[in-house]
Structure 1
Amino acid sequence: MTTLTAPPRPEPATAPAPGGPLAASRVVAVFAAATVLLLVVTAIHLTQGTSSVGALDLLRLATGGDDEAARVLVASRLPRLLAGLAVGVALGFAGAALQSIARNPLASPDTLAVNAGAHLAIVAVAAFGISLPALPAGGLAFCGGLAAAALVMAMSSGGQAGTTRLILAGSATALALTSLTTLLLLLFEQATIGLFAWGNGSLVQSDLVALTQLAPVIGVAVVALMLLGHRLDILALGDDTATVLGLDVRRTRLVATLLAVLLSAAAVTLTGPVAFVGLCAPVIVRLLGRVVPGVHRHRILLPLSGIAGVLIVLGSDILLRAVMGGQAGVDIPTGVVTSLLGAAVLIWLARRHRDAGPTRRPPGGHAAIRSAAFHRTVLVVAGAVTVTAVVVGMLAGDTWVLLGDIVNWLNGSTGPAYTFVLDQRWPRVAAAVLAGAALAVAGTTVQAVCRNPLAEPGILGITAGAGVGAVSLLTFVPLAGVWAITGVAGLGAMLAFVLVYATAWRGGLSSDRLVLIGFGAWQGGTAVTTFLIVAFDPWNTGKALTWLSGSTYGRTATQVLPVAIALLVLTPAVATARRELDLLALDDDTPRVLGVRLERTRLLALAGAALLTSTAVSAVGVIGFVGLVAPHMARALVGGRHARVLPVAALLGAGLVSIADTLGRTVIAPAQIPAGLVTAMIGTPYFVWLLWRSRAVATTAR
């Protein structure tokens, strides 16, 4: 079964009514109002900038005003305005098409990793010193975005298997691609200078060359989608009905997908990834369906989404420059503002939606039942692997040492050179081991509480909150001590956790709603972190990228201590609640029948996971996938009982991060790859396999 012919599973938020009555007068009124609003926003946008040229100066141009105003308009403001118009239209059309194809309200160029794939393709070329014109660069971005979208839609059954599954598949793919992009930005910092800010969606244009080359591509794709509008209306009725009516479902879906990816790639090539415009614009238009019957018809939906996309892009740019000043439009990417808007829309959509897709099953539901002897054997082997990883981590690096050197160092009898090397190395190894164990225990807890085997602390916004807190302190108080950084990171994590938990609560806690809202908080936290970097410390992106990628570089014993304390205090507490975790992983009714105070237990368990995650982030930065991979591997080895899973997961997490850190320090020594990038590249294939396996299970069940 191909991804383009997967059985449909319509989502309520995107179930259009193409056959409903069309209120022509209301549709005309909506288009007229949208056009007037667009003209107003365009006029305001032209009056903003870094120069003193204002609205009156621009008005005087009609009567032959001064040359300075004309130069500013032609050289700076008009290219920026036209770029915003092109990107808004492209992303609005692309988002509407993708949501209709997938019948999923959260499908967009961002959640399908199209933007991440296109961004990686462009950065990869720039990293090797190759400068391409706009059209060839757009073609390369198209290939990267199409490959990413194909992978995500394959893992999520064409996007129709439920919003939670789509978000998880898209976030995993985007994280892996973003990790590769970040690695290139770090390794080729000189060749890719300026691409960090551009990678978050910047409307800054030096001329109209790129726009004039890409505008025809956008125009042709827009016209082609409009011509497909009637077929998309028929496709919205369901694959079976559409086939009976004579529609080639597979070809229609394929052509629409290609056009949507082409539009997204053109937008990325022009301005970088302007996040979540493709998500927000169609959602806003579909909300008009209550007052404007027939707005779901694609020949109305698509152009209105394009106009809404332009309003979002230009409105965000106006807001940014109005609040932060004209220079902020140059320094701070407009995509940061749209990311915050998109995060809010994601959270709002999640509160309205309840998903019951194939990801909602007990995390240990398919784990094998193992004997106690086998469990002890696994525990010993996992311990041996972790110890070996620690020893190799002490031996390996830009300077290799021998076991005898370590023994002499422990006895205090090494020379100054080896003493210096090992004194610098052991805190890094300890930080990797302890942070890995903390993230694994936190991930095991989160998966049990959410009853979602694909959840982890990062997807709940906890790591993003900790990252915002730590980066804020590093930015505004660069000389802050270790305990201050740990405290602020912990505060950020707990605030993010409280926000996600409170927002997800609605007469009870839905696991899927918790994951979707957490994803929105994660995206919002990442946008805030990016804002802090580019607005207040733009010349130190290497430090920030290293922090956001997870690195043990320069760690000291004092920085390791908070993680050790958190593990010593919280791990026994989690282990004590192993019976409750076993019950929480089953359903909501069984714990209540057996006397477990469900909401209180959930709250305390997630709070413990948040604290463990925050201390790990304060020690090594943001490291993803450890909280996902380690619990899964543990359950596959020893079964689903948390009394067995927790110690094995902790050992596997410690070993995984230690191995990733050692590889990052040695593969391209003396240069280094942050451990978080290595774990992302290790964890993503495993995550893809998990999604693909659960997809196969779901398909078989149908």
Structure 2
Amino acid sequence: MNVSSSTTKDRPAPAAAPAEAAPSAGAGPAARRGRALLLAPLAVLVLAALAALHVSQGTAAVGPGTLWHALGSALTGGDPVDQADAVLLSSRLPRLAAGLVVGCALGAAGAALQSVSRNVLASPDTLAVNAGAYLAVVAVAAFGITLPAFPAGGTAFVGGLLAAGIVLGLSRAGAGPIRLVLAGSALTLALSGLSQLLLILREQQTSGLYAWGNGSLGQIGMETIDRMAPVALVGLVGLFLLGKRLDILALGDDGAAVVGVSPRLTRGVAVVLAVLLAAVAVTVAGPVGFVGLCAPAVVRLAGAWAPVLLRHRVLIPAASVAGMIVVLGADILLRALFGAQAGTAVPTGIVTSLFGALLLVFLAHRSRDAGSADPTTAFARLRSRRAYVVTLVLAGTALAGAVVAAVLLGDTRLLLGDVGYWITGRSGDLVSFVLDTRVPRVAAALLAGAALAVAGAVVQAVSRNPLAEPGILGVVGGAGVGAVTVLTVVPLAGFWLIGGAALAGAAAAAALVFGLAARRGLEQNRLVLIGIGVSAGTGALVSLLIVLTDPHNGTKALTWLSGSTYGRTLPEVVPVLTALVVALPLLAVFRRELDLIGLDADTPRLLGIRPGTMRLGLLTVAVVLTATSVAAVGVIGFVGLVAPHAARALVGQRHARVLPVSALLGALLVVVADTVGRTVIAPGQIPVGIVTAVIGAPYFGWLLWRSKGES
């Protein structure tokens, strides 16, 4: 399994053997072993201090002395006799134990997955293990099935293992350091979309699972932990015993085979054990984000100072301890910032996700770019003008048919004659009501799809990365943060205020992503990785806003984040229409510059183009298109990736042809997705963003599969 790796300037290789780590100058083996021995008691002291502080936090006014007395009673087997005993036994000790089990399991799982994939960005999150496990648990709950701890853990294990198998299968033969992360991000979006669909459609059966889905340590008693802790211990022991084989595997598949270690078997066993640990964490507390990325990264960075930490029989326990410190530290920080009462409602995973997003951006910013693996190389053939015209006519005809179908279909089905009467003002009250609400929805889907597709084509040209799109680069997430902030803080806010906030959020996210990437030459892989990190951070912020708000606004924001045309009016689609009317002619004027900027960094300068200024202007156009579409229909993923790719496959690489075809295909995709969402379970509705995610993720995976042999 030749999974791509991400190389850094001053960081040890992610799966390096101890001998590969660069020791400090002048430090002998004894000194380096002494450093490791010094780190061990220090980590234990930090963990003990955090545990003591963690137990002392809570909503009940119970002092440390009282808690100490209650802890002594609990350890000696005494029954709870007062409030302190009850608080300690029913709430605080279970929460502490959950933090220890989850941190330990995710830290070890992340270390194993990074070693197996030879990628420092691998973790249960980036490999979609958490998303798969969470979807499996939500699916069971959605059908009203309540499972005990062991069956629930088994369900999560199966879901996580299937997701990990898909991601590793897509990335196994690729070249390019971001393939694994991209495949995991795409599958995570699809699985998260399905989870959100179940949460929305089966609201009563899945009540409380949204907050739990962000990783909540809150427990009632020790029953779940008592059952799952032994499973986690089995996984840890298994990875520890596998340590020497993982050390040998780090030397390369050929070298491992020579000494009798099977690379495939070793990787398979390690992945199964890592997924088992991740499933334990999901069963106990839900998917706590990015602990599996942060904890091993900290240990590997410390390995430059004490290389013995990179031996897997030391790395696995060290990552487990680091995971416990990360989880407990995040939970303590959460309750210190928001208070004990709010700390019980806000999932700890939101804080760890923010930490992980920052770490992902940091690692991506430090990494060297190893070149681009272009999944569109197979589609880079020149197309004739006749093929372009035929494609344009067919796409336009298909879009017209989809619009007609969208107007006629829904919970109330109409005929073309009804539409004709409505246009002439002679329709009945029922038909008038249906079309007055349905036509603006169709217009919003059409215009938003076209805007997102054009924005995606521009972003791909500016970044010179065919895998980039407004969602992956964090622009959609930034717009979501701005809009959801207004939705939750000012529930009665008008559309224009929401749209302005979305534009501000999109602009801030774009400035952050492109600003960080531009400092190192706007290299392609780094740009996408930074964008994924910013997207993860904005997702955590949005989850925080939703959880902190009241239930009514939280449900409204969650539905809006899934992408919905519900309740749209014609005035609310005017900004998207205006943006398209201005952007399309402007981009047509600069079509030559788009072609040249998409080639390389030097050609535009030789032809008198100022790349920096041109990129800024084009990016501004893309941000405006994205923000207006997000304000109109909410967060819709993959349209900005799928439509430009399909357009290049049909008409070639010239933007004079790609832009109009992308707009038609993007509009077609969103209109069809919206129609499907309104009709499949009518009178219930599936948010359009979920439908596009379910459609777009397999397409993106197919692109990665098609390009598996390219470098």
Q: How high is the TM-score relative to the length of structure 2?
A: 0.95
Deviation at 1:164, TM superposition (A): 1.7
Q: Does 1:19 align with 2:19?
A: yes
Which residue matches 1:226?
240
The 5 Å alignment of 1:261-660 reads 261-360=275-374, 363=376, 366-660=379-673
Structure 1 pair 220–561 and aligned structure 2 pair: CA distance change class (3 A): same
Please, which runs of 5 or more residues in structure 1 have no aligned partner? none
Aligned partners of 2:479 and 2:504 also within 8 Å: yes
Residue 207 of structure 1, aligned match among 205, 221, 231:
221
Which residue matches 2:56?
47
Instruction: Provide the C-alpha distance between the structure 2 equivalents of 1:584 and 1:252, rounded to a whole number of angstroms.
Output: 45
AA matched with 1:448: A
Structure 1 pair 697–63 and aligned structure 2 pair: CA distance change class (3 A): closer
Instruction: Provide the C-alpha distance between the structure 2 equivalents of 1:488 and 1:79, rounded to a whole number of angstroms.
Output: 41
Which residue matches 1:141?
156
Greater mean deviation of Cα atoms: 680-689 or 183-192: 680-689
Secondary structure of the 1:290 match is coil
Deviation at 1:582, TM superposition (A): 1.0
Which residue matches 2:2?
6
AA matched with 2:679: T
Deviation at 1:82, TM superposition (A): 0.2
Between the two proteins, the alignment pairs up a number of residues equal to 692
Instruction: Provide the C-alpha distance between the structure 1 equivalents of 2:72 and 2:218, rounded to a whole number of angstroms.
Output: 28
1:420-445 Cα deviation digits (max 9, x unpaired): 11011111000000000000000111
Aligned partners of 1:112 and 1:152 also within 8 Å: yes
Instruction: Provide the C-alpha distance between the structure 2 equivalents of 1:530 and 1:8, rounded to a whole number of angstroms.
Output: 31
Residue 124 of structure 2, aligned match among 97, 109, 125:
109
Instruction: Provide the C-alpha distance between the structure 2 equivalents of 1:186 and 1:296, rounded to a whole number of angstroms.
Output: 45
AA matched with 1:514: L
AA matched with 2:46: L
Residue 67 of structure 1, aligned match among 79, 82, 86:
82
AA matched with 1:101: V
Which residue matches 2:26?
none
Aligned partners of 1:359 and 1:453 also within 8 Å: no
Instruction: Provide the C-alpha distance between the structure 2 equivalents of 1:94 and 1:143, rounded to a whole number of angstroms.
Output: 16
Deviation at 1:63, TM superposition (A): 7.6
AA matched with 1:150: G
Instruction: Provide the C-alpha distance between the structure 2 equivalents of 1:284 and 1:245, rounded to a whole number of angstroms.
Output: 31
1:566-613 Cα deviation digits (max 9, x unpaired): 111112212221111111222212222222211222222122111100
Deviation at 1:290, TM superposition (A): 2.4
Deviation at 1:541, TM superposition (A): 3.6
Instruction: Provide the C-alpha distance between the structure 2 equivalents of 1:470 and 1:333, rounded to a whole number of angstroms.
Output: 22
The 5 Å alignment of 1:69-84 reads 69-84=84-99
Instruction: Provide the C-alpha distance between the structure 1 equivalents of 2:676 and 2:81, rounded to a whole number of angstroms.
Output: 61
AA matched with 1:99: Q
Deviation at 1:545, TM superposition (A): 2.0
Residue 101 of structure 2, aligned match among 81, 86, 99:
86
Deviation at 1:366, TM superposition (A): 3.3
Instruction: Provide the C-alpha distance between the structure 1 equivalents of 2:417 and 2:70, rounded to a whole number of angstroms.
Output: 80
Aligned partners of 2:17 and 2:248 also within 8 Å: no
Aligned partners of 2:3 and 2:118 also within 8 Å: no
Secondary structure of the 1:456 match is coil
Deviation at 1:508, TM superposition (A): 2.1
AA matched with 2:384: S
- What percent identity do the matched residue pairs reach? 59
AA matched with 1:6: N
1:124-157 Cα deviation digits (max 9, x unpaired): 0000000111111111111110110111111111
Secondary structure of the 1:695 match is coil
Structure 1 pair 582–349 and aligned structure 2 pair: CA distance change class (3 A): same
Deviation at 1:543, TM superposition (A): 1.6
Which residue matches 1:260?
274
Aligned partners of 2:15 and 2:114 also within 8 Å: no
Deviation at 1:68, TM superposition (A): 1.4
Aligned partners of 1:435 and 1:619 also within 8 Å: yes
AA matched with 1:29: L
Aligned partners of 1:106 and 1:163 also within 8 Å: no
Q: Does 1:132 align with 2:147?
A: yes
Q: How high is the TM-score relative to the length of structure 1?
A: 0.96
Which residue matches 2:23?
none
AA matched with 1:337: V
Secondary structure of the 1:163 match is coil
Instruction: Provide the C-alpha distance between the structure 1 equivalents of 2:520 and 2:477, rounded to a whole number of angstroms.
Output: 26
Aligned partners of 2:4 and 2:171 also within 8 Å: no
Instruction: Provide the C-alpha distance between the structure 1 equivalents of 2:495 and 2:277, rounded to a whole number of angstroms.
Output: 46
Greater mean deviation of Cα atoms: 49-58 or 33-42: 49-58
